[in-house]
Amino acid sequence: MTPRPQSLASLLALGILVAALGLLALFATMPFVHVNELGKAIAERRTELLELRNENARESELRKENRMLAAAGQDAKLLLLKGETTGIAGANLQKMMSGLVLANGGTASSFQILPAKVDGNLMRIPMSLSISVDIDGLRDIIHGLETGMPLIFIDDISIHAERDDFRAPDPHHLGPLSVTLQVSGFAHKNGAS
């Protein structure tokens, strides 16, 4: 039994109609998919915009603070190590660190000025030092470095307890500690001011 040509044509037309309706449905849903993608992109951009606005608001606060510091007479030269050459600036760094350690009850076992490095328009002068100090003295030394002038940066710190096994530990006193610090300060390049 062979199918009639009219029913075959009807099936073919029905198939074409279903395919056309499927394509139309696909085209009809495309804008909704596109709108959904746009909504996600807008949400991401809003988050990014909020972050940029926060940064922008903070920038104006920093500018105000900088103007206040400049008006108060803060001189940029106070932030740098003093010295005509990097060698003198390094010696001043060593003298400053030695005084800070002694003032806070510590003793220094070694100081070593490391080779200076060019950092933009300045010279970075690093130094390594080993000290023995109790926990309170170490706290005061670090506080002095963080808040003092010129700016001195702590690049690395290593702390070990010097234990005396023959003595009972004092729960109220931690020390002495063996501390190795690497610090650095900045100075003008030789001949620059």
Q: What pLDDT, on the 0 to 100 scale, is given for residue 174? A: 64
Angstrom distance (rounded) from CA 22 to CA 15: 10
Q: What pLDDT, on the 0 to 100 scale, is given for residue 192? A: 46
Tell me which of 75-79, 102-106, 174-178 is least confident. Answer: 75-79
86 vs 64 pLDDT, higher one = 86
Q: What is the mean pLDDT of residues 142-159?
A: 90
For the chain, report the end-to-end CA distance as a whole number of angstroms: 107
Tokens of 54: 């926060």
120 vs 97 pLDDT, higher one = 97
CA distances to 36, 101, 117, 136, 153 from 172, rounded to whole Å, are: 63, 21, 42, 11, 30
Tell me the longest C-alpha to C-alpha distance in the chain. Answer: 113
Handedness of CA 139, 140, 141, 142 (dihedral sign): positive
Question: Is residue 121 within 8 Å of residue 191, measured between CB atoms?
Answer: no
* Percent with pLDDT over 70 in the chain: 83
Ranges of beta strands (E only) in 5-61 are none
User: What letter would DSSP give residue 180?
Assistant: E
Tokens of 26: 């696909």
> Phi, psi (5° rounding) for residue 35?
-65, -40
- Tens of pLDDT along 173-184? 566 889 999 999
Q: Dihedral through CA 97, CA 102, CA 103, CA 106, nearest 10?
A: 100
Question: Is residue 187 within 8 Å of residue 89, measured between CB atoms?
Answer: yes
